[in-house]
Each structure stands twice: as structure tokens, then as C-alpha cells.
Amino acid sequence: MGENCMEILRQIKYKPARVVGGYTDRILRVNLGTRDISVQGLPPDFKDKYIGGRGYALKIIWDEAGREARYDSPDNILVMASGPLGNEPGFPGTGKFIVGTISPLTDTFIDSNVGGHFGPLLKLAGFDALAVTGVSREDVVILVDGDARTIGIAAAPVYDKKTDEGALSFGQRLLRDSNGGEYSDSLAAVTAGQGACNARFGVIHSLFFDKKRQRIRSKQAGRGGTGTVMRAKGLRGIIVRSSLSKADGNNAVDRQGVRQAGSQLRKVIAKSDPAQLHLSAWGTTVLSEYMDKFHIFPVNNYQYGHSPDSSRIFASVFLDRYFSKNIPDGCYYGCNLACAKGAENIELTRGPRAGDRVDIDGPEYETVGAVSCMGIFDPHFVMEYNWYCDEYGLDTISTGVTIGFFMECVQRGFLSAEDIGYELNFGNMEVVVRLLPEIASGEGFGRVVGQGVARGKEWVAGKYAARNGTSEEAVLSELNKFAMEVKGLEFSMYVSRESLAQQGGYGLALKGPQHDEAWLIFIDQVYKEIPTLEQKAAALKWFPLIRTWFNATGLCKLHWIDVRNPEAANTTEPAKNLPTLAHYIRYFNATTGSNKDLDDILDDSERLYLLQKLINLRYGKGTRASDQVPLRAIGPVYFNEYESRAEYYDEWLQEHLGTYGLPVSAEERHKLLLEKRTESYQQLCNLVYEKKGFTSDGIPKRETLEKFALMDEQAGQLLSEFMV
Ligand code: SF4
């Protein structure tokens, strides 16, 4: 593979390990600085303790990344790992793998789960995980060829400028050239684009050949700047090849049990999804309408939860105008929820590539939300924004939230056209199209935007303070109210202020406010299934643990969280969807030969969760101070936001005041509302910390770590530094 189109700088021969019970017990190690390539065998108990996926990434980073490691240090490690349950076409949603590393946005551990064929093929080529260290002096590509039994580092090929700058274009060309000019589903690649060289929120694309559409498709490890790390290492792409059969590729201990669990889950999805969100028809864009209806849509930097214009970007518009219909859209074989919608031959009407016709994967709900965050409601713009971000290799969420933040800075007078070089206002499509290539190339104001919200607010504070002779601290404290980031990561696309549980879901999430740790907004605000503080706090312990398990095992969560099994109604806690979870546990046991129950799985996850917490502590993001959310995440910060739903807020306030009367003036009611909301958030933090075995400062107690055998020398020293 690749020898005929790339200069091989280093290559080794190896014997691919056979997958047994979901594992190969091998990690592929590549040091790009020294060009060392090695295969590490894992001790038998490693998988018992760290499961796979996120667990492997956490353990490697905990043990090997130094305290001073930053995203671009040679000792930062870029880990890609599936899990024991990845790669089983007989069970839905098994194409996921995890990319874990130290983030350029949060300066602590980030992971992002991503679909496609890369994780399964890496496993078939003999590896549970790939760990890349070092920094290469020149741009390179890693080639893992299970068929030829070689692993190599090659000089990255140089094509034309347009192809070289694009994450999609470069990856498509790489995959074709590596296989004699033809696409094949025995190959998959990950790539990062030009944007990842210049912005902190560069993504990693997972590219695979879709036989039905006869083209390369893309899913993204989108959050936290994993692509930025990849390019900082001088790594342009990784290709993996294996022609081994994907069917029964895990060599499950009990194949019949795997088939039964898979067929039962597929039946639940086939029957229930069409009657519920119907993701198989609409994709995740279906959420926009719900979010707008319940005031959760992040309009104008989360100022408003809905807009009269929102319906212009609801799912029906994309289905009618763009999505190719009647094509099963699973991002890996065997998924009948098939939410990965896409469109072909769409003409770009704006930006540097106007006039080109392109294939687009998406949009997903998050991209639609990000566009509404910039006050834009044009469906064709959504498609274009989706494609440009993908091609440049930028996270659609962080890009939209950061631009939305700067738009609000202009709206509130903290920034002017003079600071930026042009007008930047909500709803301005042309200016966003101008900004995207600037972010990707690190030019003009794009260089500032590419730093993300946390660093962007400091830049604004500096400018404003210098111009007005005020203190930077004072400006920052005002900006902090609407700068939608926690721990350095931009919020994902849900207005959390009417859901206390989701406020916790964002603030307490270890990686920062990405909903994949605790997406509680539906069960809290829409279904009202966790009304009490006690229930919300319990949910903030239980759901992140289950979600951690999905990220450790190589599974997509949507079949569990987005399709409620009808039998769940007969359980005491329907929101947990336990009858569906039971299929997953059967699948795990049948694959690995274990005999675990739900409690075992929760314990396994808690060990990983605590390990991540320790890493956060090590990098300065592990205490209560790092769990605080901007005021906008918990209430209407400015009077205009309060006024837009005054009656609703007054009612909420009255409920919380009990027999006390409401203040007479609207300004006083607004002020009191924010005080009460802040109080509730702090009470929630207290209760969640208690349930998790943490101190009131959010630090794990020694006995909590001891329970999970995590109290090693490093952990002990770390806790001592925090006087625990
Ligand atoms: S539900 Fe969507 S994201 Fe999950 S495996 Fe299926 S296609 Fe991929």
C-alpha cells in the first residue's frame, strides 16, 4: 500500500494479531520524532481494568504524558482506539472509535468518538489501539497494512494546492492512490486539514468508502481540537487496510449470543424509531424542531432559545431539498438507525469555491444549531458551512460558537469594525463565509477566532480595556457572562438555562461542555422525568458512567439514548432505557466471555471516570472552579433575554419563592431570578460531588480512589497537593 505513490521513510514487517473475544491485546506505537514503530503486547489484566476506547486512551495519557505536556509537545500522545464491541456488523452501531489526547482548547484530556470504518479495520489489522507520540520535522502519513503485514511512515504526498489544503480532498486522493486508483471498503483513513494547522478546534476526519453511494464519506472526531494535535505532530493522515472478513470479525466467545442480542436490538430500533424521533429518515436534524419548540435552540449565541425563522432550517427542508433518499445511511455495517445523512452534487454559491459542485456529509443537528448561533437561518448556507468547515478541517460547533461570541461582543459594544477589519453582525452570511478561510489560514481576524472563545474573550478584554482605560478584569467579568465555554471548550448546541440537570451536564462534564457525557436536557426539560434535585444529581452520576462505557467499548450511543424501548415504560426509571441496555450487556458478555451485570459495568466505568478526573486535576482543570458555567447557561443574563419570556420567568420565580411575593419591578425580578438560579446550580454541584465521592471542592477523596484501585503514587501525590 502506498509504496508507489509515497516515499517510505521507515517500515517494519509485523504479524497481525488475531482478534479473539473482541481484543487483539496489542497497541501499535509510532514515534514520529524518532520514527520508531513498535507493537506493544498488553498484559491479560489490562483490558479487564481499562476496557478499551476511552479507557485505553486515558491510561496511556495518565502514565506517559508529562505534567508539562501541552497539545503540541512531543510527549503529548494521540490515541485512537476502538473497543471490544467495535466491528460487529451483526449488532447496530459498532463502527465507533475514540480519539483521545491533550487538547489545545482545554489543555487537559479530550476525547471525541467518531464513526466510520477506521476503528474496525485497525482492529482487523491487529491493533486495539494506535498511540502516536513525537513530532515529525516533515509532514508524514502512517500506513498500517494488515494485508501486506507492514507498518510504515511515509512522506506525505504533495498534490495541487486545493487538494493539499483540504481534509476531505486530500483524504479522498490518498485513499484512491493507495489502492491503485480505486476506492475499497478494505481501506479507511483519518486526515486533518489546513484549518487544523491554524485553529485550536481542528477536527480529525474518519473517511470510508460507502459502497451504496459509491463515494468516500466522512465522520468527524469533532470536539476539542484533535485534528490540531494531529497536524502539530506533522501527521497528515493515517491509512489502515485489512481485507479480513468483517462478519464475526471479533471472534466472539458466543457467536450465537451476539447474533441474538443484535437481532433483538435491531427489532426495537425498527419498530420504535419511526414512531419516535425517526432518525433513520430525518437524521439528527430532526432535533432542531424540538429544540426550537422547547426554547433550547442556541439562537444568537444562546441569547434566545427559538426564533420565528427557525423553521427555515428544520429537518423537512433538508430532506426535501438535499438529502439523498432511500439509501441506508449507517456509518458502519449493520446500523439500522442509519442517521448519517448526506447529499450529492450540491453547488456552492458562496466563498472561495463558489461554482464548485460537492458531496456533503451532513448536516447533523449540531451544525444546524451552530448556524443558528450566528443568527443565520438559510438552509443552503447550512450546507455550505458544513462543507467548508469539513474541507478546512474545522469543528462546526466551536467555529459557530466562537463567531457567535464575537458577534455578540460587537452587538454589546465590546468590539468594533475597526478592531475586526469589517462588520461582524448576527445573520451576516457573507462575513461568515469570509471568516472561514481566514480561520483556516490563520489570517486577519480569523487568526483570533481560531483561538476559540476562552482565549478570544481575553483578546477582547485587552482591546476594550486599552481603548476605554478600564481594567481587563472588569471587562472579562462582563464577557464571562456570555462567553459560552467551560474549561476552554465551547458549549455544544443546547440552551441549558431551563434545565438544571443539563447545566450540570455541561459544567460538570470532565472534557468540557459537550453533551456526550450527560445529555439530560430531554429527560429533564422535555419529558420532566427527573424533577427533584436529588434525581438530577443521581442522573448526573449514572448517565455519564453509562456513556463512558459506550465510549470504552466502541459503540454508538444513539440506539440506546435516542430510541426508547417500549418495555422501559414498565420499569421504575424509564429514562434509563434499561431493557435496551440489557441487550448491550448480553452483547458484551457474549463477545468477551464475561459474566458482567449492570453494576459491574457501572464500576468499570467509574474507574475510567475517576482516572479522567485525576488527569484533569493534573492539568489544572479538576476542581470546583473549573465546573462553573457562564451565567447565560443558567439564566437570562441581560434584561432583553428576560423580557423575551418575562411571564415564564416570573412564574418560575414565584414557584421558587413559595409564599413570598414577587418584587414589583421587572428589573428586581430579573436580578432575583439570576440569584436563585445561581444558588440552585451550586446546590446541585454539592450534591453531585457528594454522590461521586468527591470533596466539596470537586476532588475525589482518597477512599473513592482506593475503592477502584487507582491510588498509585502519582494519584497520592496529586491529592496531597490539593490537601486531600
Ligand atoms: S446511529 Fe448514526 S452515528 Fe450511530 S452508528 Fe448509526 S449511522 Fe453511525
ipTM: 0.99
Report how far Cα 528 is from the mean position of its chain's Cα atoms.
26
Last residue within a domain, chosen from 197, 214, 241 = 241
Distance 93 CA to ligand 1 centre (A): 6
How does strand 204-210 pair with strand 215-221?
antiparallel
Give residue-wise pLDDT tens across range 212-244: 999 999 999 999 999 999 999 999 999 999 999
CA distance to 579, 590, 672, per residue, from 586 (Å): 11, 6, 50
User: Would you state the pLDDT for residue 283?
Assistant: 93
pLDDT over threshold 90, residue 403: yes
Query: CATH number for the domain including 221?
Result: 3.60.9.10
Distance 172 CA to ligand 1 centre (A): 21
- CB count within 10 Å of CB 41 equals 10
191 and 299: one domain? no
CA distance 289 to 296: 10
Distance 173 CA to ligand 1 centre (A): 25
User: Would you state the pLDDT for residue 1?
Assistant: 60
Distance 557 CA to ligand 1 centre (A): 8
- Cα Rg for the chain, rounded, in angstroms? 24
Q: Does residue 318 sit within a domain?
A: yes
271 and 218: one domain? no
Q: Which of 208, 173, 170 is nearest to 189 (CA)?
A: 208
301 and 183: one domain? no
Q: Which residues of 233-262 are buried (b: 16+ CB within 10 A; e: fewer)?
A: bbbbbbbbbbebebeebbebbbeebbbbbb
The single-letter DSSP state of residue 331 is: S
Distance 239 CA to ligand 1 centre (A): 22
531 and 475: one domain? no
Distance 717 CA to ligand 1 centre (A): 42
Task: Please report the atom of ligand 1 found closest to the CA of residue 330.
Answer: 7
- What's the structural domain count of the chain? 3
Query: CATH number for the domain including 322?
Result: 1.10.569.10
Task: Please report the atom of ligand 1 found closest to the CA of residue 93.
Answer: 5
508 and 481: one domain? no
Task: Please report the atom of ligand 1 found closest to the CA of residue 340.
Answer: 7
Contact 354, 287 (CB under 8 A): no
Give residue-wise pLDDT tens across range 39-73: 999 998 999 999 999 999 999 999 999 999 999 99
Last residue within a domain, chosen from 241, 274, 308 = 241
Distance 15 CA to ligand 1 centre (A): 32
Whose Cα sits closest to atom 2 in ligand 1? Answer: 339
In DSSP notation, 665-685 reads SHHHHHHHHHHHHHHHHHHHH
Whose Cα sits closest to atom 8 in ligand 1? Answer: 331
Q: Does residue 161 sit within a domain?
A: yes
Give residue-wise pLDDT tens across range 429-471: 999 999 999 999 999 999 999 999 999 999 999 999 999 999 9
Block residue for cell numbers 461542555:
513
277 and 406: one domain? yes
579 and 710: one domain? yes
| Domain limits for position 390 | 255-490
CA distance 134 to 583: 41
360 and 269: one domain? yes
Task: Please report the atom of ligand 1 found closest to the CA of residue 337.
Answer: 1
Q: Does residue 262 sit within a domain?
A: yes
In DSSP notation, 30-51 reads EETTTTEEEEEEPPHHHHHHH-
Distance 586 CA to ligand 1 centre (A): 20
Q: Does residue 495 sit within a domain?
A: no
Give residue-wise pLDDT tens across range 520-548: 999 999 999 999 999 999 999 999 999 99
Which class for 709: exposed (0-12), middle (13-18), buried (19 or more C-beta within 10 A)?
A: exposed
CA distance 419 to 430: 18
Q: Does residue 363 sit within a domain?
A: yes
Q: Does residue 419 sit within a domain?
A: yes
Altogether, the residues listed in the chain come to a count of: 724
Query: Which residues, at least 6 apart from 316, have a Cβ–Cβ distance to it below 8 Å?
Result: 282
Distance 337 CA to ligand 1 centre (A): 6
Percentage of the chain exceeding pLDDT 70: 99
Q: How confident is the model at residue 3 (pLDDT cuts 50, 70, 90)?
A: very low
Give residue-wise pLDDT tens across range 262-302: 999 999 999 999 999 999 999 999 999 999 999 999 999 99
| Choice from 87, 213, 339 to test ligand 1 binding pocket (greatest atom count within 8 A of CB) | 339
Give residue-wise pLDDT tens across range 576-624: 999 999 999 999 999 999 999 999 999 999 999 999 999 999 999 999 9
133 and 232: one domain? yes
Contact 633, 503 (CB under 8 A): yes
| Choice from 94, 218, 558 to test ligand 1 binding pocket (greatest atom count within 8 A of CB) | 558
Mean predicted lDDT score pLDDT of the chain: 96
Task: Please report the atom of ligand 1 found closest to the CA of residue 339.
Answer: 2
Give residue-wise pLDDT tens across range 485-511: 999 999 999 999 999 999 999 999 999
159 and 300: one domain? no
CA 299, 305, 309: angle at the middle one, nearest 5? 60
Q: 484 by DSSP, 3-state: which?
A: coil
Distance 555 CA to ligand 1 centre (A): 9
For residues 127-131, give the mean pLDDT. 98
234 and 335: one domain? no
Q: Does residue 127 sit within a domain?
A: yes
Block residue for cell numbers 481594567:
471
Q: Which of 172, 166, 176 is nearest to 203 (CA)?
A: 166
CA 46, 48, 49: angle at the middle one, nearest 5? 70
Query: CATH number for the domain including 613?
Result: 1.10.599.10
Task: Please report the atom of ligand 1 found closest to the CA of residue 115.
Answer: 8
Q: Give the binding-site residues of ligand 1, using a 6 Å CB cut-off.
A: 93, 95, 115, 330-332, 335, 337-340, 556, 558
Q: Does residue 422 sit within a domain?
A: yes
411 and 515: one domain? no
Give residue-wise pLDDT tens across range 326-371: 777 899 999 999 999 999 999 999 999 999 999 999 999 999 999 9
| Choice from 210, 220, 337 to test ligand 1 binding pocket (greatest atom count within 8 A of CB) | 337
Last residue within a domain, chosen from 200, 219, 241 = 241
